[in-house]
């Protein structure tokens, strides 16, 4: 399979879907975790795996005592090393390459390059887990109750009004029964934040403690004088390393063969991880803001009032006050999802009727809507819910 074919296999994670095709059950920051971040990590995994893009991942040279294919395979499947005390010495006069020199000193061993594709794939799976938790918890509720009302205003007016009336009836009859639903969403948001922080620490551990300040070191390096700077990416992802191979000589004595190995794959690894450093920082910041926003929605009625007025343009003061006073957090979250999936005008009509029924109940002169227990042709899952409440 070509590289383009493998990359296109993950395109479904970021493709744009029309509102009428699939209900929106989260926000943009939530989607950045399981769509954008997953796609980035899976694509990076594919690129690193496709070694034919840059040739062989490792090429070693030695004195000729060991065949090249043997020394290349050996150094790739075991490890290579560099010498940290030789990192900042002038190349060409004191050392042949950064980190190479006399071996009678401390060594830093490198074998992470064997695991980079597996770690990237595992991280991609981790970023998809909170979405799976929330999707299974949500069970398609928003999709079911907004069927035929998502996106643009289409269809006959009478049919649309009937659907809206049934939806309002469902909202009234299930008041204060959506808090568990809301708990699942807020839990998944918290899992997103925990997951991105966990991935930052996990990547730092994987790279030997060099990831935490990787981005800041690269920024500092770019602002330094060209002649007096040492590339921090070379320190973390060395391009030339050493490898030692032992074999028996003709007389049975053990011979030592030193090799210099060029790790061409590290030119990709260093770019991938500098991008991931900035992306993880941005994503963690946005996820933290999303958690603060959710906490404000839960704790501050004024936040819910602002959302109704500015986000959904529901500006009737008495109506907003009724919604805030009479609904709980779970009810408001469901209303929020409905507003994300519907035309502003349609959602405004639903809120207006919802407020009237809250204020007047069954004594109003409004045309009565059938009970949600009779809505099986449109909302089969609501019929199931109604039977459970009856028992």
* Residue 348 pLDDT exceeds 70: yes
Rounded-to-integer distance, Cα 142 and Cα 36, Å: 23
Tell me how far apart the terminal alpha carbons of the chain are, to the nearest angstrom: 56
Could you list the beta-strand ranges (E) of the chain.
58-61, 80-82, 108-110, 240-248, 254-263
* Residue 309 pLDDT exceeds 70: yes
Q: How far is CA 231 from CA 109, 211, 228, 358, in A?
A: 19, 14, 10, 66
The per-residue pLDDT for 370 is 42
Mean pLDDT over 110-121 rounds to 87
* Residue 375 pLDDT exceeds 60: no
* Residue 129 pLDDT exceeds 90: yes
The per-residue pLDDT for 152 is 61
The per-residue pLDDT for 227 is 53
What range does the domain containing 260 cover? 3-390
* Residue 373 pLDDT exceeds 50: no
Q: How confident is the model at residue 63 (pLDDT cuts 50, 70, 90)?
A: confident
* Residue 76 pLDDT exceeds 50: yes
Rounded-to-integer distance, Cα 270 and Cα 236, Å: 8
* Residue 153 pLDDT exceeds 80: no
Q: How confident is the model at residue 16 (pLDDT cuts 50, 70, 90)?
A: very low
How far, rounded to the nearest angstrom, does the alpha carbon of residue 219 sit from its chain's CA centroid? 25
Strand order in the sheet with 80-82: 58-61, 254-263, 240-248, 80-82, 108-110
pTM: 0.80
Q: 281-315 burial string, b = 16+ CB within 10 Å, else e?
A: eebbebbeebbeebeebeeeeebbbebbeeebebe
* Residue 44 pLDDT exceeds 70: yes
pLDDT digits (tens, 9 = 90+) for 177-190: 999 999 999 999 99
* Residue 276 pLDDT exceeds 90: yes
The per-residue pLDDT for 387 is 43
Q: How confident is the model at residue 9 (pLDDT cuts 50, 70, 90)?
A: low
Mean pLDDT over 273-299 rounds to 94
The per-residue pLDDT for 218 is 80
pLDDT digits (tens, 9 = 90+) for 206-220: 988 888 888 888 887
Number of domains in the chain: 1
Q: How confident is the model at residue 40 (pLDDT cuts 50, 70, 90)?
A: very high
Q: Is the separation of the CB atoms in 128 and 38 below 8 Å?
A: yes
Residue with the bigger pLDDT between 56 and 88: it is 56
Rounded-to-integer distance, Cα 330 and Cα 322, Å: 16
* Residue 18 pLDDT exceeds 80: no
- DSSP for 1-63 reads --HHHHHHTTGGGT----TTTS---S-HHHHIIIIIIHHHHHHHHHHHH-GGGTS-SEEEE-S
The per-residue pLDDT for 279 is 96
């Amino acid at each position: 399979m070509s590289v383009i074919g493998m990359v296109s296999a993950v395109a479904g994670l970021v493709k744009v879907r029309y509102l009428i095709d699939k209900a929106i059950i989260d926000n943009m920051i939530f989607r950045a975790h399981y769509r954008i971040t997953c796609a980035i990590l899976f694509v990076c995994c594919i690129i690193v795996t496709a070694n034919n893009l840059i040739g062989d991942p490792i090429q070693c040279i030695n004195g000729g005592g060991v065949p090249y294919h043997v020394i290349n395979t050996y150094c790739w499947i075991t490890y290579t090393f560099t010498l940290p005390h030789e990192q900042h010495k002038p190349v060409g006069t004191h050392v042949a390459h950064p980190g190479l020199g006399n071996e009678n000193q401390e060594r830093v061993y490198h074998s992470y390059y064997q695991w980079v594709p597996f770690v990237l794939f595992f991280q991609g799976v981790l970023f998809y887990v909170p979405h799976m938790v929330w999707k299974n918890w949500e069970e398609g509720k928003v999709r079911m109750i907004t069927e035929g009302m998502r996106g643009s205003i289409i269809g006959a007016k009478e049919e649309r009004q009937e659907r809206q009336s049934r939806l309002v009836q469902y909202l009234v009859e299930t008041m204060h029964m959506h808090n568990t639903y809301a708990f699942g969403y807020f839990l998944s948001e918290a899992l997103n934040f925990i997951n991105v922080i966990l991935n930052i620490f996990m990547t730092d551990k994987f790279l030997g403690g060099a990831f935490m300040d990787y981005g800041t070191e690269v920024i500092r390096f770019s602002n330094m004088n060209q002649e007096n700077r040492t590339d921090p990416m070379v320190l973390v992802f060395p391009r030339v390393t050493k490898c030692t191979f032992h074999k028996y000589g003709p007389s049975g004595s053990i011979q030592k063969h030193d090799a210099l190995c060029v790790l061409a794959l590290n030119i990709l690894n260093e770019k991938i991880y500098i991008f991931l450093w900035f992306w993880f920082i941005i994503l963690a910041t946005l996820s933290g803001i999303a958690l603060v926003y959710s906490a404000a929605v839960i704790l501050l009625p004024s936040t819910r009032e602002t959302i109704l007025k500015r986000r959904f343009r529901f500006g009737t003061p008495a109506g907003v006050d009724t919604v805030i006073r009479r609904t709980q957090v779970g009810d408001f979250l469901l209303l929020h999802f409905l507003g994300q999936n519907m035309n502003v005008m349609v959602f405004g009509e639903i809120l207006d009727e919802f407020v009237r029924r809250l204020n007047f109940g069954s004594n109003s002169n409004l045309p009565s809507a059938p009970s949600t227990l009779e809505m099986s042709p449109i909302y089969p899952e609501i019929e199931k819910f109604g039977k459970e409440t009856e028992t």
